[in-house]
């Protein structure tokens, strides 16, 4: 990776979202088409102006469907990113790289899913089959079935090694819900307290219900454009300063990693800061993939906002609230706004830079959107025009 | 032993392990060249890229590295079976394997708890390796 190779070569110029709900009553294709059209409209572009596309490989809607139904008729570059939670930022990495390489000029990235009314990620039936092969044959026969059970192993180990507490996980939940309570798009708007978190039922001890993200129906999309194109459009560009993806070891069979109290994101963090030419002290707000609350804590450690192991105390006392020292997920995140697999985090980063967040951070000029999934991770740093 | 869980399907890379289980032996795939053990079984040594594999029987002891206690029945098959503890058992070879922690109240499981290997009928006549707290362990 060359430092600065992606710096200011592209910008996020359009954002689009459908309503988020428990039951959309619409196909995932209809949702994807709407989100993409809205993002193009927001950018002041026609869908026909889009010449590049990046999808999550888990997305039910592919590029060929969109050429037939969404009016994407001028695609000349198409790509996809592997696995789930890393995707929200990974798609931006791909788009920025394609634009810097000159193979596309206006790239759409999207995610569409009826994950609440359809196959719910939190239900074992989504993942269970009568027989399992590969690495799953070494997990599922013992009842290790769902994301909460898998990622709970990491949360437990963080507690064992560093003394992190469930109440500290609760600090994250309270902050995210407070932000959602100020966001009319959010599915969960009723504020909660630490006591509410502690009273919520255990799902996979140590993870309680309020440590888990919600399940949602909906779609969202962003448009990334070249620097030249971005300057001519209606919105102030959210400039991509740097971007990175990282695998670490064992993205398949994650519980077999050497160290479950840390994540691969330490590598992603090193690369994104080198790529952008800034450091954690320069960041005004952080959007972090919050599949489970402990991973906000582990991400803040991995991306250098506090030393490894000190994330628990770090999130106490309102520090990560929008009016705190390091605002995190000012839209409410996967936890309380909607679970559209992390792409709304990039959208919220753009809102912060446009000054249009419902929990606006004063003087917000640089935002890190990142993940420490404990699988694959990706990160982007965006700056104000 | 949990019942109604997915059954393991062997493939060419993992068949020797399941053959061992049928004989009540827990075989750890170990690099035939650099002797690094690996888990779960796979075709190549991630350390030295050799595809020579030796299957070495483990001693049958381990300790709990991490675990969750599943309390919410996310599948019909679990309704009568929660709570149960499932976690990572560290073996003397340095690898960690998934197993249930048996013979102890799930709420009393802790990091470092000594466990020993047992083989249990998974409900269909096939055996599964599992782990039970050493007597007197606390």
- Distance CA(A20)–CA(A339), nearest Å, equals 9
Instruction: Identify from A135, A141, A207, A374 which residue to disrupt to test chain B contact, counting B C-beta atoms within 10 A and taking the largest count.
Output: A141
State the pLDDT confidence band at A308, using cuts at 50, 70 and 90: very high
- Distance CA(A174)–CA(A344), nearest Å, equals 19
What was the ipTM of the complex prediction? 0.97
pLDDT at B138 over 60: no
Q: What is the pLDDT of residue A348?
A: 98
% of chain A beyond a pLDDT of 70: 100
- Distance CA(B123)–CA(B104), nearest Å, equals 21
- Distance CA(A245)–CA(B80), nearest Å, equals 42
C-beta separation of A219 from A113 below 8 A? yes
Question: A89-147: per-residue pLDDT in tens?
Answer: 999 999 999 999 999 999 999 999 999 999 999 888 888 889 999 999 999 999 999 99
- Chain centre distance of CA A45: 25
Instruction: Identify from A134, A138, A143 which residue to disrupt to test chain B contact, counting B C-beta atoms within 10 A and taking the largest count.
Output: A143
- Answer yes or no: do A153 and B122 touch at CB < 8 A: no
Q: What is the pLDDT of residue B135?
A: 72
Q: What is the pLDDT of residue B125?
A: 80
C-beta separation of A149 from B68 below 8 A? yes
C-beta separation of A313 from A162 below 8 A? no
**Beta-carbon-side half-sphere exposure of residue A106 (alpha carbons within 13 Å):** 25
Q: Helix, strand or coil for residue B130?
A: strand
Q: What is the mean pLDDT of chain A?
A: 96
- Distance CA(B15)–CA(B23), nearest Å, equals 13
How many Cβ atoms are within 10 Å of A76's Cβ, its own excluded?
11
Question: B109-128: per-residue pLDDT in tens?
Answer: 999 999 999 999 987 788 99
What Cα–Cα distance (Å) separates residue A379 from each residue in A5, A39, A252, A270, A301? 15, 21, 20, 10, 14
Active site residue A121: no
Among the partner residues B74, B96, B99, nearest to A256 by beta-carbon distance: B96
Q: What is the pLDDT of residue A358?
A: 98
Q: Helix, strand or coil for residue A67?
A: helix
What Cα–Cα distance (Å) separates residue B103 from each residue in B83, B92, B94, B118? 13, 21, 23, 11
- Answer yes or no: do B2 and A138 touch at CB < 8 A: no
- Answer yes or no: do A134 and B11 touch at CB < 8 A: yes
Q: Helix, strand or coil for residue A372?
A: coil
pLDDT at B137 over 90: no
Q: Helix, strand or coil for residue A194?
A: helix
Q: What is the pLDDT of residue A270?
A: 97
Cis preceding-peptide flag for B40 (omega within 30 of 0): yes
State the pLDDT confidence band at A338, using cuts at 50, 70 and 90: very high
Taking residues A361-375, report their average pLDDT: 96
Question: B45-95: per-residue pLDDT in tens?
Answer: 999 999 999 999 999 999 999 999 999 998 888 999 999 999 999 999 999
Residues 6+ positions from B35 with CB-CB distance below 8 Å: none
Among the partner residues B6, B70, B88, nearest to A141 by beta-carbon distance: B6
Which residues of B lie closer than 8 Å to A, measured between beta carbons?
2, 5-11, 14, 39-41, 46, 65-72, 74-76, 78, 81, 83-84, 86-88, 95-100, 111, 122, 128, 130
pLDDT at A232 over 90: yes
A45 strand-pairing partners: none
Among the partner residues A135, A140, A253, nearest to B6 by beta-carbon distance: A140
Helix axes A265-276, A294-302, angle to 10 degrees: 50
CA dihedral of B46, B51, B52, B54, whole degrees rounded to 10: 50
Secondary structure (DSSP) of B62-81 = EEEEEEEEE-S--SGGGTTT
Question: A159-192: per-residue pLDDT in tens?
Answer: 999 999 999 999 999 999 999 999 999 999 999 9
C-beta separation of A271 from A97 below 8 A? no
Cα Rg, chain B, nearest whole Å: 16
**Alpha helix stretches (DSSP H) within chain A:** 28-43, 63-69, 87-101, 147-162, 166-181, 194-199, 227-231, 265-276, 294-302, 311-314, 333-336, 343-354
Secondary structure (DSSP) of A112-166 = EEETTTSS-TTSGGGT--SEE-GGGGGTGGGT--SHHHHHHHHHHHHHHHH---H
C-beta separation of B37 from B63 below 8 A? no
Question: A10-41: per-residue pLDDT in tens?
Answer: 999 999 999 999 999 999 999 999 999 999 99
How many Cβ atoms are within 10 Å of B94's Cβ, its own excluded?
12
Active site residue A162: no
- Selecting among A56, A110, A273, A289, the annotated active-site residue is A289
Closest CA relative to residue A228, chosen from A9, A7, A4, A6? A9
C-beta separation of B77 from A141 below 8 A? no
Q: What is the pLDDT of residue A84?
A: 87
Helix axes A343-354, A87-101, angle to 10 degrees: 70
Q: What is the pLDDT of residue B136?
A: 63
- Distance CA(B108)–CA(B85), nearest Å, equals 10
The pairing of strands A10-17 and A238-246 is: antiparallel
């Amino acid at each position: 990776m060359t430092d600065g190779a992606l710096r200011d070569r592209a910008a996020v110029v359009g954002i689009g979202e459908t309503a988020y709900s428990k039951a959309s009553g619409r196909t995932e294709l209809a949702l994807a088409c709407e989100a993409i059209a809205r993002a193009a409209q927001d950018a002041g572009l026609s869908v026909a102006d889009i010449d590049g596309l990046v999808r999550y490989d888990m997305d039910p809607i592919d590029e060929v469907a969109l050429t037939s139904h969404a009016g994407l008729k001028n695609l000349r570059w198409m790509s996809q990113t592997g696995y789930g939670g890393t995707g929200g930022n990974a798609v931006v990495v791909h788009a920025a790289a394609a634009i810097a390489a000159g193979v596309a000029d206006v790239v759409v990235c999207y995610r569409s899913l009826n994950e609440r009314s359809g196959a719910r990620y939190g239900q074992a039936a989504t993942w269970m089959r009568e027989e399992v092969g590969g690495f799953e044959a070494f997990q599922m026969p013992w009842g290790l079935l769902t994301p909460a059970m898998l990622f709970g192993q990491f949360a437990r180990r963080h507690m064992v090694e560093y003394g992190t507490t469930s109440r500290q996980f609760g600090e994250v939940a309270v902050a995210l819900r407070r932000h959602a309570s100020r966001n009319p798009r959010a599915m969960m708007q009723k504020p909660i307290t630490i006591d509410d978190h502690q009273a919520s039922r255990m799902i996979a001890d140590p993870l309680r219900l309020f440590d888990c993200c919600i399940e949602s129906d909906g779609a969202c999309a962003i448009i990334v454009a070249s620097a030249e194109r971005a300057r001519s459009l209606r919105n102030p560009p959210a400039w991509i300063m740097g971007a990175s993806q990282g695998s670490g070891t064992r993205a398949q069979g994650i519980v077999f990693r050497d160290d479950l109290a840390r994540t691969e994101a330490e590598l992603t963090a090193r690369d994104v800061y080198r790529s952008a030419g800034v450091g954690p002290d320069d960041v005004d707000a952080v959007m972090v993939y919050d599949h489970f609350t402990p991973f906000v804590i582990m991400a803040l450690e991995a991306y250098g906002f506090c030393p490894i192991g000190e994330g628990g105390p770090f999130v106490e006392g309102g520090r990560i609230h929008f009016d705190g020292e390091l605002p995190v997920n000012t839209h409410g995140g996967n936890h309380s706004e909607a679970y559209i697999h992390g792409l709304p985090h990039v959208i919220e980063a753009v809102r912060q830079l446009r000054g249009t967040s419902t929990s606006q951070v004063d003087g917000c000029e640089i935002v890190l959107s990142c993940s420490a999934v404990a699988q694959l991770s990706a990160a982007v740093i965006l700056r104000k025009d | 032993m949990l019942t109604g869980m997915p059954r393991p399907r062997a493939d060419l890379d993992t068949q020797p392990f399941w053959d061992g289980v049928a004989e009540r032996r827990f075989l750890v795939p170990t690099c035939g060249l650099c002797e690094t053990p690996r888990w779960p079984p796979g075709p190549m040594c991630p350390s030295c890229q050799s595809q020579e594999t030796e299957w070495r029987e483990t001693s049958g002891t381990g300790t709990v590295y991490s675990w969750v206690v599943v309390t919410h029945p996310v599948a019909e098959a679990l309704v009568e079976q929660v709570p149960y503890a499932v976690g990572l058992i560290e073996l003397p070879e340095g690898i960690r394997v998934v197993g249930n922690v048996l013979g102890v109240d799930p709420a009393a499981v802790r990091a470092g708890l000594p466990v020993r290997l047992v083989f249990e009928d998974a409900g269909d006549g096939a055996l599964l390796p599992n782990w039970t707290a050493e007597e007197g362990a606390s």
